[in-house]
Structure 1
């Protein structure tokens, strides 16, 4: 598989796209994250507090109707770029997703969005 083929499969560009993203330290080891997320033709601004950015993004995805549960997480650094591989689940369906970034949090958030897009595509082809 080529690198382009890999990213097309495991980090697809889909209906869910992240615009702005910020993280602020909160009380008692919590963070408050703010995001602007495009969901198809709808753009929403969201805020969530959690024990970390991955928990906050999971909450935001749930809020827009694209819930994702993380079953496994693998992460590594290659040449200064952090990569995250997530096994994601929704409604008893699982898929692997990939994200990268300059930090672990950025890679995690990108992988979560990729997972939400992959699960949404797989649920669209499923009979109700």
Structure 2
């Protein structure tokens, strides 16, 4: 699903700490810095099966791995990332429903470095997975 992003609304949905950190960035700069969907880790495919069931196919430097989970996308993705050598810790998690989708903002720590990831998607699970990937791609 492709969403048209109102970047001002998206940034307004961010937690105060992220808005302060990103003060002075244009909406395009905000998106480039915090919403990286390309990098060391990519989401190749996403399927939300029903209620709390989903399948995500992740690409790690050209290698694909499919994660199927029931329940929390944070727990499933964190476990899969750890298995692939990305021991990520979620320090802050903020999610808000907007007029056009769910905005998710995560502060991640990886190898002693911290970075925010942000995403907007049609459902909260996909938004969460995309924000976590964006967070990793800020420093991986």
Query: In the alignment, which residue of structure 2 is the partner of 1:83?
Result: 103
Of the candidates 40, 45, 51, which is equivalent to residue 66 of structure 2?
A: 45
| Partner SS, residue 87 of structure 2 | coil
- Displacement of 1:23 after TM fit? 4.8
Choose 32-41 or 91-100, whichever is displaced more. Answer: 32-41
Choose 34-43 or 10-19, whichever is displaced more. Answer: 34-43
* TM-score scaled by length of structure 1: 0.76
| Partner SS, residue 138 of structure 2 | helix
Query: In the alignment, which residue of structure 2 is the partner of 1:9?
Result: 33
Take 2:68 and 2:108, find their aligned partners in 1: how far apart are those partners? 22
Query: Is the CA contact (8 Å cut-off) linking 2:90 and 2:107 kept in structure 1?
Result: yes
- Displacement of 1:33 after TM fit? 4.2
Within 5 Å, give how 1:23-34 maps onto structure 2.
23=48, 33-34=54-55
Aligned residues: 115
- Displacement of 1:115 after TM fit? 1.1
- Displacement of 1:92 after TM fit? 2.4
**RMSD of aligned alpha carbons:** 2.2
Take 1:7 and 1:75, find their aligned partners in 2: how far apart are those partners? 17
Deviations 1:56-100 (A, max 9, x none): 111111122222111111111222321111111123221111111
Whether 2:137 is the aligned partner of 1:112: answer no
Q: Which has the higher contact order (CA 8 A, sep 6+)?
A: 2
Please, which runs of 5 or more residues in structure 2 have no aligned partner? 1-24
